[in-house]
Every structure is written in structure tokens, then in C-alpha cells.
A and B are shown apart, each in its own frame.
Chain A
């Protein structure tokens, strides 16, 4: 059972396309795994569609004056050329969407669709931790695929910003809970945690700012924060 979900507010922003790439990817991948949020997202999307494209949506444009075909002008813009140009085009077939597979430490993983075209980078890391840095638009935000081998753990750390972890495969646990694939875990600067995994796991992570490792010898590992996330 998936126990951790994005907040409704975040789902609404996602429906409206307001989240940045890293977050939008995380929410999308969660919804692919979680039917509850998928249904909610569907409702929010329908509501947004109604707001922007519904009958009532356009009162400040003089729709009454919309002309018919041949002399199509809306709000003083002549759309007839555009219309003519578009209707000369041939239908386009659907492209088969194939799941992208990544391989790390000899195991293959099929990724959520949101990540299909985002994973053309190399893995790096050390020991049981492997990381693939992904493109993120925002300057301070970092998105990665993070793989932890069986019996691996990440030293206790806190975040200077928000950290979102979406568990894609396998299981892990921290001081707060045990997690299953699809769990969408949001932690902020007030939380410290040290995730460990028994059988290994693959996560998608987005952090708004670099991590700080807080405990004893782990402090030496602070540069690792830069590496992992």
C-alpha cells in the first residue's frame, strides 16, 4: 500500500502545469503508480479545463463577434491563414510509447513514463550508492535517479531545502517509516533522516538545495551530499 502522497495543492498545481520539471516528473511518476492520485489529478485537470476552455471561460473576449469560416477573426486577429494551413496537414499516427530501461549494478529497471526522455546520462557514485544526475531547470534544484544496493544506507542528513523522494522499485526505511514503490516522501529543512535499504532500491529524488550531513564522521562526507543529490 502506498501511504505517502503529494498534497492536493501540489496535484492541483501539477494539473495546471505550474510545477518545475523535476517536481512535475515526480508527481507524474507517482500518479502512474498510484490510482488514488491519478483519479484526483483527472478531476483537477477536468476542473482546470472547464475554467480555461469551458463555456464561461472567455467572457472578456467578444465571442459573439467570432466570424464564420472564410473570414475568421477573433479579437481582431485574423486566424483564417492559420486555419487554412492546419487543415492541409495529414493525420499523424500515435507513437508507440515504450518504457525506458536503465541498468545499474547489473539490474534493469523499467522507468515511469515521465522519465522516458530524461535519462541519457551516466551513473556515478561509490560503494553501494549510484546516482544519475538528471536535467533540472531551476538553478537550486537537483533531480537524480538514486540507486542503493542491498544493505546500503545514506548517512544521516538534513536538508537546507525541500527534498522529495519517490521510491520507484524496492523498499527502504528511515526513522519515520518503511516505504514501498510509489511512496512520495516530502521532507523539509526540519527533518533529518538516514534511509537504509535491505534489498536495495531505486528512487527518483528532487532537492531544492544541497544536503547537509549532520552526524559525527558523516560530516567528513559532506561533499557526498553534492554527489548523491
Chain B
């Protein structure tokens, strides 16, 4: 897709030789670019750095405008999209999480979500905004923990349904994170017994899970 695009640009602009040179340096350059964008966003987040923001702005604004023009077919709405997206970048810079993706992906997500709601407003006269519900950008980490808790809670329920001796071993290994040897000493039973109880417990657990979730 990228290739086809850049080829069409080449013929359109008759700058093929410039572009080819550019292509060879692409990888290192784009890595460098992403690092720069990230540094600028961090400065905005930590110091409300207006100069760093202006640089982000001058990089993203024309691209957002371009995207807006394509999707919304209106220069005015495209400008609104630039304003709304870049406002969010400024006011929520501190919520950017580099572990979850690049700065460009983050800005794209914000822009795509706004654009989705703007399009619905234009096409269906809807005033409500669902974009950020459908593609969560600023989700609080708490919500995710909760999901894990739900899963753990479900799992624990099934572990509790195991026969007592198997349950003791499964919990010892997976919840208290004891080694099989430690468990053997603690319970004063031979290591082989621990191993077989664990195996039986896991087989049983798997059959319970298969029954409930498959």
C-alpha cells in the first residue's frame, strides 16, 4: 500500500530521484523522528513547554488537515478537526503512555475518534460522542486491573472446586509461588506426591475450564 502510494507521488511530482534517496535513509530517519516527537510530547507533559508543542503542532497540523479534508470534505470541518485534536494533545499530553504505542499512533487515535463523531454529526445529525468509548485512549489503568481481577476471581472459584489435597498444591505453587520442593517440605509429603497432585489438579482444572468456556 505504502509502495503504491509513494510510486504515485513519484510520478506526480517528478522528483523520483530525491525520493529514492530519501527511501534508503527511511528507517533510521523515522526512528529518529519518533524519538523526537516523543521527547517533545514529554516536554509538553512535564513542563507545559510551548516551544516543544509548537514543533509537534507544525508536524501534525498539516497532516490532520489533510486527513480531515479527505474524510469530512470540508475545509472548515477539517480545521475544527485540527483544533480539537491538537487541543487534546496539549491538554492530555501527560496521559500519553509510551508503552502502549508511538506518538503518531496516539495522535491518530485521538484524531480518528474525533473524526468519527464529527462525521456522525454531519451525516446523521447526531450530537452524542461515542468515539472515545469505542476506541479508548485515556483509559485509567484501574479499569484494566479490574478485568484481571474478574479473571482471577473466576479462576479462583474453579480452583476452590478442586479436591482439597489438589487444591492445596495448586494454590501453593500458583498463588504463594512456592517451589515443588518447598511445598513438599512444608506439607511433609514426598516430592512425587506433590507432582502427581499438581498434575491431577491441573488436568481437573482444565476440564472444568473447557466445560465452562468452550
Contacts and interface: CB of A to CB of B under 8 A. Distances in A.
Interface in B73-98: 79, 82-83, 86-87, 90-95
Contacts of B143: 97-99, 113
A60 B65 CA distance: 12
A79 B9 CA distance: 26
Contact of A137 (B63, B67, B109, B124): B124
Given A17-B115, A55-B30, A1 B214 contact: yes
Contact of B105 (A49, A68, A116): A49
Interface string B95-110: 1000001101101110
A86 B90 contact: yes
Contacts of A56: 2, 6, 26
Give chain A's interface residue range (CB within 8 Å of chain B): 35 or more
A14 B38 CA distance: 26
A74 B92 contact: no
Interface residues of B, number: 69
B139 interface: yes
B14 interface: no
Nearest to A33: B147
A54 B62 contact: no
Interface in B40-65: 48, 50-51, 53-54, 57-58, 60-65
Contact of A118 (B26, B58, B130, B213): B130
B112 interface: yes
Contact of B140 (A90, A92, A94): A94
A74 B62 contact: yes
A63 interface: yes
A74 to B, nearest CB: 4
B105 A45 contact: yes
Given A49-B105, A77-B65, A92-B92, A25 B134 contact: yes
Given A53-B67, A59-B13, 7 more contacts: A16-B112, A17-B112, A49-B102, A51-B1, A69-B54, A87-B53, A113-B143
Contacts of B139: 94, 97, 113
A94 B95 contact: yes
Contacts of A180: 213-214
A116 B133 contact: yes
Contacts of B199: none
Interface in A148-191: 180
Interface in B1-33: 1-2, 5-6, 9, 12-13, 26, 29-30, 33
Contacts of A137: 120, 123-124, 126
Interface in A74-121: 74-75, 77, 79, 82-83, 86-87, 89-92, 94-99, 113-118
Which 3 A-B residue pairs are closest in the complex by CB-CB distance?
A: A49-B108, A69-B54, A49-B105
Given A28-B135, A82-B83, A96-B142, A91 B48 contact: yes
Contacts of A79: 57, 61, 82
